[in-house]
């Protein structure tokens, strides 16, 4: 069995014994559910008809393949309907059903508290077209809204959770553990398709009684949980609270370092408050409401951290084990936890308080460096601004920032040097389709790249000063923004070079076509002259020889010449030049692949039927 119960994690082909199909009093499929105990089923509140005397739970994964149907009713007050605040953010939508007859003890599954960032997951639901049950695959891409819901992106367009999937269990693809429940699936007006789930921590936050059927440690160390003593006027350090809320709401900073000294009651209280409000399970329900009356900018996003640990008195190995457990890295328990963390594919939003009070602070910093290199975000709190804090700044902030800038400088040099040189070489050969817009946009992008390069070089000279909180100041302060700029400019340059190469290839094709037609015409005329045809030839030749060459205009001239040659042969009783060597079919004929105004062309005019 899996760690949480139910079917083994590697039984990919089996219908899970915990999967429940729920029918309303009218006999229609209302949704799905998760069997958590022999007589309790978790589902969405909107699946439950509270006016009905009873519903029916059907077990499609029963061992004897009989699909038993068991009457079920709402389990007392275990019902949290979906509510929406003034911004339309949803919250709740969980309920518990009690079965009239219990299921076998080996059928239920436990919920598992795990970090959800970048996880591959599977859901088993009952949509209309597959009401016998079907798996849907997705990737968890991050939290959203004030209730800590998690957005899932379908693995393929057809795997969007649809009616009949609400309440379905969400299983981690690596471990087989059920880590949450499907809430809904939707397609927005732009055609983007999403599924949303409520993770185990959020579900337990709404229905605390489910703690007994949930495995995995909480994402919040009990020593960091806010208490009633923290809710005292004057104990909120508002600027500090705003900086913490910004990081927990993903302000783009990879690492934040703060110092909270013992005895600083306001800072300690503010830190516990921020961490608790960001925890899915521990945050008070009122904090989900838009009308929450705390000062603006001080309330972090629910789910802002995946794990918050207190390092005081703990070894780096114990902290690594806690991180590995939260990430679901228990497949190879014989491997040291640091090795498992280093090999992990997922990432964490991690809070570590009291880094300098760990048993072995340097080893903890090495662990944090591994997480940072793997893409995790880190909020680190020190008790003194001493050697350990200074080393952390150098190891986790200054040095990585310097290395990042160096990589960016090399990349921007490539963009503004060789790539830009290739572009200008191509532009000297051919004229782009929309020359004015083309040149203006690329010039603007290249100017921005040159400015970014200058800022990054200046930042190297100044070594990018930072304040004690690890906040960024000075020129070149946002390398992530420059990374996005480099991606955008490089992409545009590559696309533009490809377009210009297609035009240059087309110019060469037209040159060969003009040459073959001219040779063949001279052979046919046998020394006679036709000034009108010669003028057409000379115009086409001049346009193709010009640098830069306007391929569209040159193509029109070549078409005019070849059409006249074709007609010239017909006027003389010839059969035209359809079977002549060198003819590539780029005249005024349907189905051609040229660049003129002809049906079926694939080029840069008012063509139809394809093109670049």
What was the pLDDT predicted at 473?
Answer: 39
Per-residue pLDDT, 191: 64
pLDDT at 547 over 60: yes
The pair of three-digit structure tokens given for residue 397, joined into one six-digit string: 């902030």
> How far is it, in rounded angstroms, from Cα 506 to Cα 503?
5
Residue with tokens 């059903």: 97
Residue 605 has pLDDT above 50, yes or no: no
Interacting residues of 4 by C-beta distance below 8 A, sequence separation 6+? 109, 110, 111, 112, 177, 178, 215
Q: By percentage, how much of the chain surpasses pLDDT 70?
A: 84
Instruction: Tell me the CA distances in angstroms from 342 to 353, 366, 438, 519, one per residue in order.
Output: 21, 11, 45, 69
Query: Using 50, 70 and 90 to split pLDDT, how confident is the model at 23?
Result: very high
pLDDT band at 510 (very low <50, low <70, confident <90, very high): very high
Contact (CB, 8 A) for 97 and 72: yes
CB atoms within 10 A of CB 297: 14
- Residue 13 has what pLDDT? 62
215-229, 407-421, 463-477: segment of lowest average pLDDT: 463-477
* Whether the Cβ atoms of residue 355 and residue 382 lie closer than 8 Å to each other: yes
In which band, very low, low, confident or very high, does the pLDDT at 5 lie, cut at 50, 70 and 90? very low
Residue-level pLDDT at 152: 87
Given this model, what pLDDT does residue 443 score? 86
Alpha-carbon distance of 182 to 122, in angstroms, equals 10
How far is residue 202 from each of residues 12, 181, 190, 239, 280, measured CA to CA in Å?
A: 27, 10, 29, 28, 5
Residues in a beta bridge with 29:
23
Report DSSP state, residue 294: S
Q: Nearest-CA neighbor of 260 among 385, 372, 349?
A: 385
What residue has token string 């240059």?
Answer: 504
Residue 603 has pLDDT above 70, yes or no: no
Reduce the DSSP state of residue 444 to 3 states and report it. helix
Residues 195 and 182 sit within 8 Å (Cβ to Cβ): yes
Exposure string over 152-162, b if 16+ CB within 10 A, otherwise e: bebeeeebbbb
How far is Cα 486 from Cα 490, in angstroms, rounded to an integer? 6
For residue 576, pLDDT over 60 is answered with no
Q: What is the mean pLDDT of residues 96-100?
A: 95
Can you give the pLDDT at residue 596? 38
Count of Cβ atoms closer than 10 Å to residue 239 Cβ: 11
Q: Are 91 and 84 in contact (CB under 8 A)?
A: yes
Q: Does the pLDDT at position 539 exceed 90?
A: yes
- At residue 46, the pLDDT reads 92
Higher pLDDT, 258 or 196: 258
Average pLDDT for the chain: 83
pLDDT score, position 292:
52
What pLDDT score does 423 carry?
92
Token representation of residue 337: 């936890």
Nearest to 136 by CA among 104, 97, 163: 163
SS3 content of the chain, % helix, strand, coil (to 5): 40, 20, 40
Q: With a cut of 70, say whether residue 604 has pLDDT above it.
A: no
Per DSSP bridges, beta strands 94-99 and 134-144 are unpaired
pLDDT category of residue 285 using cuts at 50, 70 and 90: low
What's the pTM? 0.75
Whether 598 shows a pLDDT value over 60: the answer reads no
What pLDDT does 131 receive? 76
User: Where in 295-450 does DSSP place strands (E)?
Assistant: 307-310, 349-353, 377-382
93-107, 148-162, 573-587: which is most confident: 93-107
**Chain segment 48-70, per-residue pLDDT in tens:** 987 777 899 999 888 877 888 99
pLDDT in tens, 429-441: 999 988 777 778 8
Nearest to 219 by CA among 129, 134, 280: 280
Residue with tokens 């969980």: 94
Q: What Cα–Cα distance (Å) separates residue 41 from each residue in 32, 66, 74?
A: 9, 19, 9
595 versus 299: which is more confidently predicted?
Answer: 299
Higher-confidence position of 498 and 145: 498
- Per-residue pLDDT band for 118 (boundaries 50, 70, 90) equals confident
Tell me the average pLDDT across 99-117. Answer: 92
Higher-confidence residue of 66 and 540: namely: 540
Q: Of 183, 131, 134, 188, nearest to 159 (Cα)?
A: 134
């Amino acid at each position: 069995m899996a760690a949480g119960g139910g079917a083994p994690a590697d039984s990919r082909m089996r219908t899970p014994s915990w999967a429940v199909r729920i029918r309303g009093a009218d006999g229609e499929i209302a949704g799905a559910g998760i069997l958590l105990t022999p007589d309790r089923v978790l589902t969405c509140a909107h699946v439950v008809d509270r006016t009905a005397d009873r519903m029916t739970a059907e077990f499609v994964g029963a061992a004897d393949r009989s699909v038993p149907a068991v009457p079920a009713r709402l389990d007392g007050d275990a019902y949290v309907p979906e509510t929406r605040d003034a911004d339309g953010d949803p919250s709740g939508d969980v309920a518990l059903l009690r079965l009239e007859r219990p299921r076998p003890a080996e059928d239920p599954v436990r919920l598992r508290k795990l970090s959800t960032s970048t996880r591959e997951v599977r859901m088993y639901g009952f949509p209309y077209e597959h009401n016998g049950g079907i798996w849907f695959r997705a990737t968890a891409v991050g939290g959203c809204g004030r209730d800590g819901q998690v957005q899932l992106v379908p693995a393929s367009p057809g795997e969007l959770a649809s009616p009949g999937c609400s309440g379905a269990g969400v299983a981690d693809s690596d471990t087989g553990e059920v880590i949450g429940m499907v809430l809904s699936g939707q397609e927005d007006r732009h055609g983007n398709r999403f599924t949303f789930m409520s993770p185990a921590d959020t579900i337990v936050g709404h229905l605390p009684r489910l703690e007994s059927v949930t495995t995995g440690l909480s994402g919040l160390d009990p020593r960091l949980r806010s208490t009633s003593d923290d809710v005292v006027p004057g104990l909120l350090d508002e600027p500090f609270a705003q900086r913490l809320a910004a990081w927990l709401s993903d302000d783009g900073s990879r690492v934040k370092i703060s110092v909270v000294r013992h005895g600083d009651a306001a800072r300690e209280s503010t830190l516990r408050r921020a961490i608790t409000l960001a925890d899915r399970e521990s945050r008070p329900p009122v904090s989900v409401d838009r009308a929450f009356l705390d000062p603006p900018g001080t309330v972090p996003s629910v789910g802002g951290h995946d794990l918050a640990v207190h390092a005081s008195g703990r070894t780096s190995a114990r902290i690594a084990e806690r991180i590995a457990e939260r990430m679901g890295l228990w497949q190879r328990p014989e491997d040291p936890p640091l090795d498992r963390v280093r090999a992990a594919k997922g990432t964490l939003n991690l809070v570590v308080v009291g880094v300098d009070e760990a048993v072995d602070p340097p080893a903890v910093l090495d662990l944090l460096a591994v997480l940072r290199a793997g893409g995790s975000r880190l909020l680190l709190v020190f008790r003194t601004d001493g050697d350990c804090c200074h080393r952390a700044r150098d190891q986790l902030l200054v040095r990585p920032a310097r290395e990042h800038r160096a990589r960016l400088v090399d990349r921007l040099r490539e963009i503004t040097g060789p790539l830009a040189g290739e572009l200008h070489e191509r532009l000297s050969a051919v004229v782009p389709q929309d020359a004015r817009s083309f040149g203006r946009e690329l010039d603007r992008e290249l100017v921005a790249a040159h400015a970014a390069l200058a800022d990054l070089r200046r930042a190297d000279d100044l070594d990018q000063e930072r304040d004690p909180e690890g906040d960024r100041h000075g020129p070149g302060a946002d390398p992530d923004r420059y990374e996005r700029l480099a991606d955008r400019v490089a992409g545009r340059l590559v696309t533009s070079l490809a377009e210009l190469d297609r035009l240059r290839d087309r110019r060469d094709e037209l040159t060969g076509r003009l040459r073959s037609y001219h040779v063949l015409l001279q052979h046919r005329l046998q020394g006679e002259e036709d000034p009108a045809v010669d003028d057409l030839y000379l115009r086409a030749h001049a346009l193709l020889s010009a640098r830069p060459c306007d391929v569209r205009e040159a193509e029109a001239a070549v078409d005019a010449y070849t059409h006249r040659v074709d007609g010239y042969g017909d006027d003389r009783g010839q059969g035209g030049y359809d079977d002549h060597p060198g003819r590539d079919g780029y005249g005024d004929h349907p189905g051609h692949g040229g660049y003129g105004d002809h049906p079926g062309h694939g080029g840069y005019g008012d063509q139809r039927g394809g093109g670049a």
